[in-house]
Structure 1
Amino acid sequence: KSVGLNQVILRYASDKHERIYGMGEQYSSLEHKGKRIPIITAEQGIGRGKQPVTFAFNRVFMGSGGNWHTTYTAIPHYVTSAARSVFLTNYSYAEFDFTDDETISILSTTPTNTLCGQIIGARSIPETVAAYTEYSGRMEPLPEWAYANGVILGMTGGSAKVRKVASMLRDAGVPLAGLWLQDWGGIRNTSIGIERVWWNWELDESNYPDWHALREEAAMNGTRLLTYTNPFLMDARGPKGRLYREAKEAGYMVQTVAGGVYRLGHEPGVSFGLLDLTNPAAVRWIEDVLHDMLKNTGAVGWMADFGEYLPFDCVLHSGEAPIAVHNRYPEDWAALNRRAMIRAGLGSKNEGGNGEGMFYSRSASSQTPRHTPLMWLGDQLVSWDAHDGMKSAVLGMLQGGLSGLALSHSDIGGYTATPGRHRTRELLMRWMELSALSDVVFRTHQGNRPLHNAQPWDTPELLDHLRDFARLHRALAPYRAELMRESSLTGMPLTRPLFMHYPHDVVASRVATQFLVGRDILAAPVMDRKTSRVHVYLPPGDTWLDVWTTQQAPAQPTGPRHGHGVWLTVDAPMGWPAVFIR
């Protein structure tokens, strides 16, 4: 019998020594004991607690600075050091409260008067992940070109600039898998001094007058073209606003309570609408738009951006409460991108396609792994820090992998430059080293302020570094192919936290600056400026070999009754990140 509940609290016992991980891509928290984590997909924010940048952005645009828990992929699922797991299967807002040593509380809003979930008990964390991903879905292996052919270079600027830069890379010997041209639909410089693309999802022939010739030239060199989309439509005069006007007339965007398009936008003079994915006609329409994009451009990959912006005070076609749909929206967005890819003949061989297609998502819900081929970690600052910089990208990847987001990557060099802060050459080069090891694809981004940021083609030194680490990434392709096959069968992430294979080691449970690639590679890249050494923790029970010196570290005893592994100080000058093989 319905009793009209609007909240349910589930409370149960927890071992005070049990460590808690997961909850989607959590960028600031490796172990969640003592914390309260909200389940709400959102912009992660600019700074996320790094001061004074967070304070400044919150003052200008309320909430835009974010917080330690803000994430694009808040997933109501955790894993413990004792290989136990609890997850919810409904999408409403929830809070997981781990602040009590001996109890865990889950508060959930319940517009449907129901709270659904599952409990998992297993012998190991990998077995727990395998059980959970039977529900969430498992990500399939990527097309070979995406992970085995070199760098996917992100850039804007039109045909002439693209040709010039691509030629520079080829002359420098850089293997070039793809050209990701985010401005394929046009570009504009904003009133707040950053570069933005037009959200209209049609080829801008003034920017790329010879797109198809460019695509054919790239193909002759083994390079694919990639584009960009998101679920917004920008209100603009002339052809740039054509799709907005069409969707407005048909009622395809989310509405206000008073009627009319719910307009979003933080920039003076610019507004946009968000597609209503509870409207079947709107879903068919935007799926057709994406299908036409692929057929008309010949692109085989694209960024499927955003998915976190459904307002809580909007009106939906389905009549559902927005709070019940908000966290589901990223999943629906990924699913329709998948269908467009299949219709364009780019799906997997099992889907009747040529196996060439790939898109990458920023936001995620519990079952997003069923639909998206690849995740990316969003818009980190062009910085080294653990709040919102390089270190936070590593942590987000490690946590997300526990919830089915097994194939992931970051923007090499970060994305967000702020006044007074730009991307340095040193940061860009160290991020190349990180991504060559941690990321399933090796992709760059110019960032939001391209003229202020160091770019891979700026100097011969940067080009040489890009070449070396694109080649390293390519050399690891056979190993990654095997890991992707394993992941498709078990849900295991390619890049793993140490505690996944060393759950009884307290030190391993706290290390967030190094990681495992599969079971047999341990990497500890430099993630601090002006540093040429790193402290590396080698877990117990295995013998590790330094790949550059071939020096062997002694094996350590294993098991909960034995001591910890060993700490080493390792030389890591530029170009020589610390890497060990088991």
Structure 2
Amino acid sequence: MKEVSTAKPKRLLKKFGLATLLPTLLPTFLAAAMQPAFAESSQGTNPETGRSYQSHQLRDDKLVIETSDSQVTLTPLNSGALEVHYQREGMKQLPSFARAQLEADVQAQLRVSQDTLRYALGDLTAVIHKSPFAIEYLRNGKNLLAEEHGFFANETMRGFRFALQEQEKLIGGGQRVLGMDRRGHRLPLYNKAHYGYSTESNQMYFGLPAVMSSNKYILLFDNSATGTMDLGASEQDVMQFEAVAGRSAYIVVAGNTYPKLIENYVDVTGRQPMPPRWALGNFASRFGYRTEDQVRETVKAFREEDFPLDALVLDLYWFGPDIKGHMGNLAWDTNAFPKPVEMMAELKEQGINTILVTEPFVLSTAERWDNAVASNALAKNLAGKPKQFDFYFGNTGLIDVFSEDGRDWFWNIYKDLKDQGVAGWWGDLGEPEVHPSDTVHAIGMADEIHNAYGHRWAQMLYDNEKADSPEARPFIMMRAGFPGSQRFGMIPWTGDVARGWGGLQPQVELSLQMGLLGFGYTHSDLGGFADGESFDREPYIRWLQYGAFQPVYRPHAQGHIAPEPVFHDRETRDITRDFIKLRYRLLPYNYTLAFENSQTGMPLMRPLFFEDESNLALMDYKEAYLWGNDFLVAPVMDESDQVTVELPGGTWFDYWNDNQYAGDIARVDVSLKTIPVLVRAGAFIPTVGDMKNTREYSSKELRLDYYAHDSVDRSAGYVYEDDGVTANAFGKGLYEKLMFAGERTESGIEFRFDREGKGYSGAPQKRSIELVLHNWRQEPSSISAGGDIFKLVSAEKSLSNNTAWFNKRSKTLHVKFNWTEKHQALTVTL
């Protein structure tokens, strides 16, 4: 870290009557100015806060400023991110939950003048004004964000105030149904269940004390306590965070583009590790399977109806016959599941993974209650005894995941179940759903750490899973957490949503909001969870169609209407089967999205405003989204045979029939069998053949659909592949990247095919490629690769290696060849 003083030494010496000593003292003064622990003192009181600058020091990689009422520590996290921590004597501070514990390599530079400290990280600069004391933030020399009042604290509240710019839009706050721009709202920060929500909700399962601004910054309040984010609701131009306790710190992240902003953010809060490949498959799930026989009957129905299946989820009936009275048993109800180990082994033999629900509550009537008390596993009351309270499921205690005893007790249960064959964990009610304020945890009271409970629970699972099986990828699905929970592999869902159109309509908004702040696998109970008075088949079908382009495919519901499509009428089965099979065929594309997320934090579902960052109006659009880079998906949200889709520029092809759309909007005709799915001009879409589940996945035969268009001269894509199970396979080099590119020439198109990586267990030695060129209007004069001339055949069934077939009716050219070399080229000449 480098510090440079821009104050004039001669003027300062004259001020203190030392001008005559200048020749003697100046060298010493300048040398001291460059010392890493140099401190400068001055007085400058902010008349509104009463806060005055007194001195500053550089301590290792941090800038520490002493003011009249607090110590302010600025810690660089990367070239575009900075933590600011206000600490006041006697004020309790909690550890950071949001920050990943990573070493930061930042060449920060401090410049000191009479009026300011300028702390530059590279992309982000903090300007600390001495009088009045305030901090503002610049990106590329331009104002990005500024404290208005800055830090405030009294006996019952602490927080921060920032100034908002006039046209600024704010996305964030986590799961809410309020529209994409949350400016003008006052958001409670207390993770709380909202059973049966539909088209509006101000407070839900998974809140986030963070916002993303249209000015391309993220502001994260690293405080887990009960509080509120006021985004210009009370005062139009002020963003205020307030909490009853907790860590008095915030993190500012900047980026020149939204993708870069997200990358800088997850560099600070942690990247989501890749899930096992089976997590991208189809799940059987309901509330809930009551017996082993019912499990087997369900799996049999999927097989007989030709539906792929990768996982089966067991809700709370696995440990008790009734909804109430058994929570906390967390051991098999052997009357209903007499041979669970054999059952899970049987499922595994078919390529189906078992996931169990668990909750953090132990009822006083549960078989494990006495053991939990004796093991010091439960949170306490004010008298130091296990805290007991009543809620829907019975009289209960709450496991203290903030205590070592609580974590060890809980993990021992998981470890035993894992050894029996459980493949994944579902953590439910982890807000926690009921959490009395007088509950005492190892590090604080309930209201201090409430919003970090699910976060700490996920960390306990992830850390122990990695210690127990370091080469494996855990599956951890949770209903609540905190910024940074994604680094523990957390897969959130949007809670107990109502069935019907009203439940479907907010789901894109919810997933986009969460994905932009690190949670790229946020998904919904497909078809809706909460039972209504009647069942409407059409929104159920539409929801499951949308699910094919959602991070996790998991229909789940309560009541008398089955969530699994295999138990519905024939037309429903046929329609949903097609979409589920399509999801499996798209595994090369979808798995590559998972890889990109693990590297840069880019969500799988992306807002359209990423395509036109200057269009602020597009930030409000939540009726459609990008699935990765090349698909634009618009779920059908009501009874309609035509959907109007806003376009972010460029040309787009209808995935079902190759119709082309350009301009500002597309009016897409739909039937019950289709939803609007558009493909970017110039895109390569990789697919494989049908399979029973992801265990059968192979890219030995790979189809590449290339969408040719005059407006796109060059385009490229790639597929990331590994064995689907090994942790950090990319970091170990155990992967392949299959890269492909196309470039238009005056005479046709030249394609390049390249591979990188050491390979992985089970990787094909060669691949049979079917390259399909869409929007191809004439039979080519020649096709060549490596000196080989391809033969044109008259029918698709005649395709074999080094042959091609032109389909005049669909305007597609099919080219088939073997990809054996690391670098290959293919030329299509008009």
What's the TM-score, normalizing by structure 1? Answer: 0.84
Match of 1:424 among 521, 525, 536: 536
Distance 1:38 1:18, change over 3 A: same
User: Structure 1: which amino acid aligns with 2:485?
Assistant: T
SS at 1:228's partner residue? strand
RMSD between superposed Cα atoms in Å: 2.4
* CA-CA distance at 1:44 after TM superposition: 2.9
Give how far 1:98 is off: 2.0
2:291 maps to 158
1:443 maps to 2:554: yes
Q: 1:376 aligns with which of 470, 480, 493?
A: 493
1:216 aligns with 2:345: yes
1:133 is aligned, of 261, 266, 280, to: 266
1:181 to 314, 317, 321: 314
1:433 aligns with 2:545: yes
Deviation at 1:234, TM superposition (A): 2.5
What letter corresponds to residue 625 of structure 2 in structure 1?
A: F
Asked if 1:84 is matched to 2:194, the reply is no
User: 1:7, CA displacement in angstroms?
Assistant: 2.2
Q: Distance in 2 between the 1:28 and 1:46 partners? A: 16
- Deviation of 1:3 after TM superposition, in Å, equals 6.6
DSSP 3-state at the match of 1:272: strand
**2:334 alignment partner in structure 1:** 205
| Cα distance in 2 between the residues matched to 1:458 and 1:206 | 29
CA distance in 2, matches of 1:336, 1:81: 35
By how many angstroms is 1:455 displaced?
4.3
Corresponding position of 1:226: 355
Instruction: Give matches, 1:136-151, under 5 Å.
Output: 136-147=269-280, 149-151=281-283
Q: Secondary structure at the match of 2:318?
A: coil
CA separation in 2, counterparts of 1:512 and 1:138?
25
* Pairwise CA distance, 1:189: 4.3
User: Are 2:608 and 2:625, in contact at CA under 8 Å, matched by a contact in 1?
Assistant: yes
Aligned CA distance change for structure 1 residues 458 and 271 (closer, same or farther; 3 Å): farther
Give the structure 2 partner of residue 285 of structure 1: 409
Answer whether contact 2:244 2:447 (CA < 8 A) is retained. Answer: no
Q: Count the aligned residue pairs.
A: 526
Residues 326, 363 of structure 2: 8 Å contact kept: no
Deviation at 1:217, TM superposition (A): 2.7
Which residue of structure 2 lines up, in the alignment, with residue 394 of structure 1? 508
Q: Deviation per CA, 1:233-283: give whole Å up to 9, x if none.
A: 1232xxxx221221133332223335544334443x822221112221111
Aligned counterparts, 1:445-484, within 5 A: 445=556, 447-449=557-559, 451-452=560-561, 455-456=564-565, 457-484=567-594
Higher strand share goes to which structure?
2
Aligned partner of 1:545 in structure 2 is 653
CA distance in 1, matches of 2:397, 2:660: 58
Counterpart of 2:666 in structure 1 is 568
Distance in 2 of aligned mates of 1:215 and 1:178: 11
Amino acid of the residue matched to residue 292 of structure 1? D
- 1:162-184 Cα deviation digits (max 9, x unpaired): 22221121111111111112246
CA distance in 1, matches of 2:665, 2:276: 38
Aligned with 1:250 (options 375, 391, 394): 375
Partners of 2:390 and 2:501 in 1: CA distance: 29
Kept after mapping to 2: 8 A contact 1:76/1:88: yes
Task: Give, in whole Å, the separation in 2 of the partners of 1:569 and 1:401.
Answer: 27
**Between the two proteins, what is the percent identity of the paired residues?**
24
Q: Determine the structure 2 residue equivalent to 1:59.
A: none
5+ residue gaps, structure 1, are 51-66, 346-351, 557-565
Which of the pair is proportionally richer in helix? 1
**CA deviation profile, 1:117-155 (whole Å, cap 9, x unmatched):** 1222321111111111112211112111221x4444445
Measure, in 2, the Cα distance between the counterparts of 1:108 and 1:188.
44
Q: Match for 2:184: what amino acid? A: G
State how far apart, in whole Å, the 2-side matches of 1:459 and 1:73 are.
35
- 1:364 corresponds to which letter in structure 2? G
Q: Which moved more, 1:571-580 or 1:256-265?
A: 256-265
Give the aligned partner of residue 499 of structure 1: 609
Q: Tell me which of 623, 631, 635 is aligned to 1:513.
A: 623
Q: Residue 220 of structure 2 aligns to a residue in which SS?
A: strand
Rounded to whole Å, the distance in 1 between the matches of 2:630 and 2:346 is 39
Query: Matched residue of 1:429: which SS?
Result: helix
| Residues 19-55 of structure 1: CA deviation (Å, up to 9, x unaligned) | 110222223331012111222222134337x6xxxxx
Q: Distance in 2 between matches of 1:285 and 1:105?
A: 42
Structure 2, unaligned runs of 5 or more: 1-87, 92-153, 681-830
For 1:2, which of 89, 92, 99 is the aligned residue?
89
- How far does the alpha carbon of each residue in 1:59-81 deviate from its partner, in whole angstroms, 9 at most, with x for none? xxxxxxxx722122211111111
Instruction: Give the structure 2 partner of residue 404 of structure 1.
Output: 518
Structure 1 residue 578: Cα displacement: 0.5
Evaluate the alpha carbon distance shift between residue 99 and residue 204 of structure 1 in structure 2; reply closer, same or farther with a 3 A threshold. Answer: same
Larger RCO: Structure 1 or Structure 2 (Cα < 8 Å, ≥ 6 residues apart)?
A: 1
The alpha carbon displacement at 1:188 in A equals 3.8
Q: 1:294 aligns with which of 391, 398, 418?
A: 418
1:276 aligns with 2:400: yes
Q: Is the 8 A contact 2:285 2:563 kept in 1?
A: no
Matched with 1:536 is 645
Describe the shift of the 1:220–1:276 C-alpha distance in structure 2 as closer, same or farther (beyond 3 A): closer
Go from structure 1 to structure 2 and tell me whether the alpha carbon gap of 1:8 and 1:165 turns closer, same or farther (over 3 Å shift): closer
State the distance in 1 between where 2:504 and 2:497 align.
7
CA contact (8 A) 2:175 2:207 kept: yes
Aligned-partner Cα distance in 2 for 1:278–1:153: 30
Aligned equivalents of 1:197 and 1:527: distance in 2?
39
